Amino acid sequence: MSKSSEIEAPEAVQAALRTAVGAVQAEVRAGAVLHLPAHDAQWMATGISVTRGETVTLLSSGIAWLSRAFDLFVTGGLSLWYRIGDGPIGKVGGDTFSFTAERDGPLELICHLAGQWIDESGRFDPASTLENGGLCVAALVWRGDRDAGLAAFAAVDSTGLAAREVARIAAFRPLPPGWAPLWRVGATSIFCEAVDTDAPPRIACRCVEDAGIIKYPLSLELTDDLAIAWDWRIQRLPSTVAEDIAPTHDYLSLAVEFDTGQDLTYFWSSSLPVGTTFRCPLPWWDQVETHMAVRSGAEGLGQWLGERQPLLSDYRRCVGGADPARVVGVWIIALSAFQRGTGLADFARIRLEGAGGQTWIGP
């Protein structure tokens, strides 16, 4: 049985979650179980109003299809978004997720592909909806302590989703100071700060059938001599074939964002020649993102290697158009959702270098 067929039958999950919600009323102040369609999706009211400071848990199961023909789908970790009232949107960091409400208001949910938003209020181009499928989601607002509530829920939850959330919380590790998830892609559990005795302080990336982008915001003048430099250790590439088409667009990269709205990503390709440049093959991203292969193949995997790329000349060659005036962010990107593989990497000593000195981003 394929993985998609194993998790594409939501009726039993929906019934089990409703039974569990009914069994833990002492711990759950408000709960709802909903089906969120992927096609023609709209923001859906949960019927729950939350108060600032309350803890909310979202448990999801199901598939949102990008293309059945190519067997491309995502689960809730890459397609479940929430918002409270007129506040900004947020994405879950996995198929299960908990967060603290930052405002009062009604809780709304949507199944929508990460990245394709017009603004942080949750407006999107209707053409960007997914092909079909959907998610079964339980939204739970705890009366008191989240961990105690989850433990009680897990004891009666035959789906195992609550137990997965307990495990996710226990395994969580923070990002280094200054880094945060890129808002249009949302929360992720892929990256964390790592410090130990056998390697430099670094950002560890462990991307298993997942995707995420973290950003370090900047405002730095883009001069002719400005370069981006970093060290990385790629242990495993998420693709074994060329990454320049959507069905195989799984990769690991460090990217630079400019004040033109464009970003240039430097990635390690499995097979494309060094210097290969192409626009992102994904919808919406094809308008703003360009990829450049700076390494290729298996040579050097598992080793710490240093990179240095001249930004303005790379931009002119790879992106084109009017020159940017400023660098506004550095990103780390990991994507392994399309072929449902694994990408493993570490990033360290990230910095911008020019005649004016160095701007360290770290770690």
- CATH code at position 8: 2.60.120.430
Mean local confidence (pLDDT), 208-231: 97
Per-residue confidence (pLDDT) for residue 152, from 0 to 100: 97
- Asked which of 119, 147, 171 is the last residue of a domain, the reply is 171
Q: Is the per-residue pLDDT at 361 higher than 70?
A: yes
What is the reported pLDDT for 72?
Answer: 87
pLDDT in tens, 52-102: 999 999 999 999 998 888 888 899 999 999 999 999 999 999 999 999 999
Side chain identity at 306, as an amino acid letter? G
* Claim to verify: residue 24 and residue 85 sit in the same structural domain: yes
163 and 289, same domain (yes or no): no
Task: Quote the pTM value.
Answer: 0.93
Are 131 and 246 part of one and the same domain?
A: no
Task: Examine the fold and report which residue of 171, 195, 215 is the final residue of a domain before the chain moves on.
Answer: 171
Same domain, 8 and 39: yes
Most confident of 37-41, 67-71, 281-285, 328-332: 328-332
Cβ within 8 Å of residue 140, ≥6 positions away: 21, 28, 30, 31, 56, 57, 58, 59, 149, 153
Residue 271 has pLDDT above 80, yes or no: yes
pLDDT over 50 (residue 122): yes
> Helices 146-156 and 10-23: crossing angle, nearest 10°?
120
Beta pairing partners, 208:
342
Return the structure tokens found at 239.
């693709």
Question: What's residue 335's pLDDT?
Answer: 97
pLDDT interval class at 1 (50, 70, 90): very low
Question: Which one, of 1, 113, 115, 9, lies nearest residue 61 by Cα?
Answer: 9
Q: Do 315 and 340 sit in the same domain of this protein?
A: yes
Same domain, residue pair 143 and 86 = yes
Same domain, 130 and 234: no
Q: Over the chain, what HEC string results?
A: CCHHHHCCCHHHHHHHHHHHHHHCCCCEEEEEEEEEECCCCCCEEEEEEECCCCEEEEEEEEEEEEECCCCEEECHHHCEEEEECCCCCEECCCCEEEEECCCCEEEEEEECCCCCCCCCCCCCCHHHCCCEEEEEEEEEEECCCHHHHHHHHHHHCCCCHHHHHHHHHHHCCCCCCCCEECCCCCCCCCEEEEEECCEEEEEEEEEECCEEEEEEEEEEECCCCCEEEEEEEEEECCCCCCCCCHHHCCEEEEEEEECCCCEEEEEEECCCCCCCEEECCCCCHHHCEEEEEEEECCCCCCCCEEEEEEHHHHHHHHCCCCCCCEEEEEEEEEECCCCCCEEEEEEEEEEEEECCEEEECCC
Residues 192 and 164 in one domain: no
The answer on pLDDT for 2 being more than 70 is no
240 has a pLDDT exceeding 60: yes
Residue 281: how many other CB atoms lie within 10 Å: 16
Q: Are 121 and 208 part of one and the same domain? A: no
Q: Which residues contact 145 (CB under 8 A, 6 or more apart)?
A: none
Quick check: 108 pLDDT over 60? yes
- Give mean pLDDT, residues 1-26: 76
Residue 6, pLDDT above cutoff 70 = no
Looking at the predicted structure, is the pLDDT value of residue 334 above 90? yes
pLDDT confidence band for 5 (50 / 70 / 90): very low
Hey, what are 301's tokens?
A: 């995997």
Q: Write down which residue in 171, 195, 230 finishes a domain.
A: 171
Cβ-based neighbours of 208, under 8 Å, separated by 6 or more: 336, 342
Same domain (yes/no): 185, 324: yes
CA distance linking residue 339 with residue 326, whole number of Å: 35
Q: Which pLDDT band, with edges at 50, 70 and 90, does 9 fall under? A: low
113 lies in the same domain as 225: no
Rounded average pLDDT over 33-52? 94
Among the residue ranges 38-47, 65-74, 91-100, 330-339, the one predicted with the least confidence is 65-74
CATH number for the domain that contains residue 224? 2.60.120
- Over residues 180-197, the pLDDT tens digits come to 999 999 999 999 998 776
Q: How far apart are CA 114 and CA 277, in angstroms?
A: 24
Beta bridge partners of 253: 267, 333
Domain assignment of residue 10, given as a range: 3-171
pLDDT, residue 114, reads 83
Do residues 140 and 207 both lie within one domain? no
Question: What integer best gives the mean pLDDT of the chain?
Answer: 93
> How many domains does the chain contain in total?
2
Instruction: Write out the two tokens for 53.
Output: 């400071």
